[in-house]
Amino acid sequence: MTDLFGGSPEHALSNADVSFLDTTLRDGEQAPGVSLTPEEKVEIAEALERSGVSVVEAGSACTGEGERAAISRVTDLGLDATVTSFARGLQADIDSALGCDVDGVNLVVPSSDRHVERKVGSTRAEVLDSTVELVEYANEHGLWVEVIGEDGSRADLDYLAELAEVALDAGADRFCFADTVGHAGPEQTAEAVERLAALGPVSAHTHDDLGLGVTNALAAVEAGADLVHATVNGVGERAGNVALEEVVMALSHVYGVETLDTETLYDLGSVVARTTGMRPAPNKAVTGANAFAHESGIHTDGTLKDDRMYEPYPPEAVGRERRLVLGKHAGRAGVRAALAEHDVDVTEDELGTVVGRVKDLAERGRRVTDADLLAIAEDVTGRERDRRVELVEVTATAGSATPTASVRLDVDPSVLGPEDVSDAEVAEAEESDGTVERVASGTGSGPVDAAVSAVRKAVGGATDVHLTAYHVDAITGGTDALVTVEVTMARDDDEVTVAHSDADITRASVAAMVDALDRLLADAAPRLAPATD
């Protein structure tokens, strides 16, 4: 097996046949503040299918009617993946799952004495008997069954093995070792999974409370587990579940074990980040904003000379692009490359001046954004850029009525989709300065939201650009305070940050967003990211 940079993996796993059960729609939704609509569950499920996930845990049918409706929406998709529902150790939960037409159930039963005695008020023997009855009941109704020994990492291993044995003998398709509270280390995980794997098919469900989620998942695979439970971006309760994309890339790059379509991982992570509202930390592996970003002059220069220099695998392997970040560590090579991404050519003397001004700006505590760089370059070279979208006017009203706003933009028809521009507008643009006036109005939860809605209507097909960060600072005092609005907008894996100041927060917001939109719609898609604190 050859790795992604042309070498050979130094290590091999004894188990090279690994699949994934994704529980983003169930365990991931247990993260504080996350509540997915049926439409969002469908969108995530379809993205998981594109990646090649084998089992999709669509939710907990026992939760209520709304959750059952959402699970049913997923089962109606006709996915190749096995679609399951979480079920407690109750026949009623299995019946609820059957009502959603799922393929199987993830039957969770207590395995540690803490859960057996204190949580459900039972005994070890009673749990064994009820598990057999529930597995047989699920089998009689044609369900795929996985029995999960909840809190397995804190259970007596002899009893955990006995629970697995009776479950498998009763007809369960597999037994899952669950490190429910992220308690275990890799040695304990390996010992438990090896013992369980001798009895039949084993899954591993790990959490990241000690930062050992990936380590424990890999230890479980080496010990014989052939199905890994995970969530996209590691979303989940407390510190989260093990991140699916991290296990996928570790298996691929380190051990040469191919599982999912890696080139879909960034898109998958973006879908989950948007629908859950949980954006990965910038330094998160695979899907974080800084995963393929380079600021240091030495690192940037080395990366430009040889892609392998400061990256374990190329960003394209996970559907991403490399980014050059400008800050006080920026060098000539990095700045030149960043300007080239925007189709800006400079002389050696101009480059030196631009580098100096970038460093000066960064050393004053400012983040050097795309707009900053291009503004510096335009000032140094004396050349102005051709705008594709420009704000002419914005008006907004709020109060007791629904907030409304209207915008007037000058737009280059070339950035609009064919269905969004008329022949008359194209003719108008050709006869004038190359732009056409677009007027639109919108409503929203506030004047800024309404104005953004209006901008989206005005630019039509360019709405694949989306807002990823919004920050407001008052830079003067008093009732007439001047505010600075900083926005970060993205299109695919391209991101641009722009700031604008005004006494009117709505105008400052819209002006910043329109400027960011203009940058992203440039012919040469920018790949310059702002430095992250």
Across the chain, which has 533 residues, the per-10-residue mean pLDDT values are 48 80 97 94 98 98 96 97 97 98 98 95 97 98 98 97 98 98 97 98 98 97 97 97 98 94 96 93 92 65 66 92 76 80 84 86 71 80 77 83 88 71 70 78 86 83 70 64 80 74 86 84 43 39
Let me know whether 45 and 171 are in one domain.
yes
How far apart are the C-alpha atoms of 474 and 472, rounded to whole Å?
7
Let me know whether 399 and 306 are in one domain.
no
Cα dihedral 83, 86, 91, 94, rounded to 10, equals: -20
What's the pTM value of the predicted model, to 2 decimals?
0.75
With residue 470 as reference, give the H or E element that holds it. Answer: strand 466-474
Let me know whether 373 and 433 are in one domain.
no
> Is 286 a member of any domain?
no
> Is 2 a member of any domain?
no
> Is 429 a member of any domain?
yes
> Is 1 a member of any domain?
no
Residue 131, domain CATH: 3.20.20.70
Q: Of the candidates 381, 402, 432, which is a domain's last residue? A: 381
Residue 228 confidence (pLDDT):
98
Structure tokens at 58: 């669509």
Counted domains in the chain: 3
Report DSSP state, residue 199: T
How far apart are the C-alpha atoms of 496 and 490, rounded to whole Å?
6
Let me know whether 23 and 96 are in one domain.
yes
Long-range contacts of range 3-9, CB-CB < 8 Å, 24 or more positions apart? 3/252, 3/253, 3/256, 3/313, 4/252, 4/253, 4/313, 4/314, 4/317, 5/307, 5/308, 5/312, 5/313, 5/314, 8/256, 9/253, 9/254, 9/255, 9/256
Residue 527 confidence (pLDDT):
34
Query: Domain containing 183: what range?
Result: 19-276
Q: Of the candidates 381, 402, 421, which is a domain's last residue? A: 381
Using an 8 Å Cβ cutoff, are 413 and 438 in contact?
A: no
Using an 8 Å Cβ cutoff, are 444 and 396 in contact?
A: no
Let me know whether 167 and 268 are in one domain.
yes
Count CB neighbours of 230 within 10 A.
Answer: 29
> Is 27 a member of any domain?
yes
Report CA Rg, the chain.
Answer: 27
Let me know whether 101 and 233 are in one domain.
yes
Q: Which of 96, 67, 97 is nearest to 82 (CA)?
A: 97
Residue 445, domain CATH: 3.30.160.270
> Is 368 a member of any domain?
yes
How far apart are the C-alpha atoms of 23 and 45, rounded to whole Å?
10
Enumerate the H helices of 198-344 as residue ranges. 213-223, 244-255, 265-276, 297-305, 332-341
Q: Helix, strand, coil % (nearest 5) of the chain?
A: 45, 20, 35
What's at 13, amino acid-wise? L
Let me know whether 416 and 350 are in one domain.
no
Residue 317, domain CATH: 1.10.238
Using an 8 Å Cβ cutoff, are 267 and 51 in contact?
A: no
Q: Give the pairing of strands 19-22 and 227-230.
A: parallel
Residue in the structure block whose two tokens are 């430095």: 531
Let me know whether 263 and 307 are in one domain.
no
Let me know whether 330 and 413 are in one domain.
no
> Is 370 a member of any domain?
yes
One DSSP character per residue, 494-527 reads EEEEEEEEESSHHHHHHHHHHHHHHHHTSSS---
With residue 487 as reference, give the H or E element that holds it. Answer: strand 483-491
Let me know whether 104 and 250 are in one domain.
yes
Helix (H, G, I), strand (E, B) or coil at 402: coil
Let me know whether 70 and 215 are in one domain.
yes
Q: Which of 406, 414, 358 is nearest to 388 (CA)?
A: 414
How far apart are the C-alpha atoms of 127 and 275, rounded to whole Å?
38
> Is 352 a member of any domain?
yes
Report DSSP state, residue 38: H
CA 351-310-307 angle, 5° bins:
70
With residue 48 as reference, give the H or E element that holds it. Answer: helix 38-51
Count CB neighbours of 342 within 10 A.
Answer: 20
Q: Of the candidates 381, 415, 442, which is a domain's last residue? A: 381
Using an 8 Å Cβ cutoff, are 491 and 515 in contact?
A: no
Let me know whether 92 and 61 are in one domain.
yes
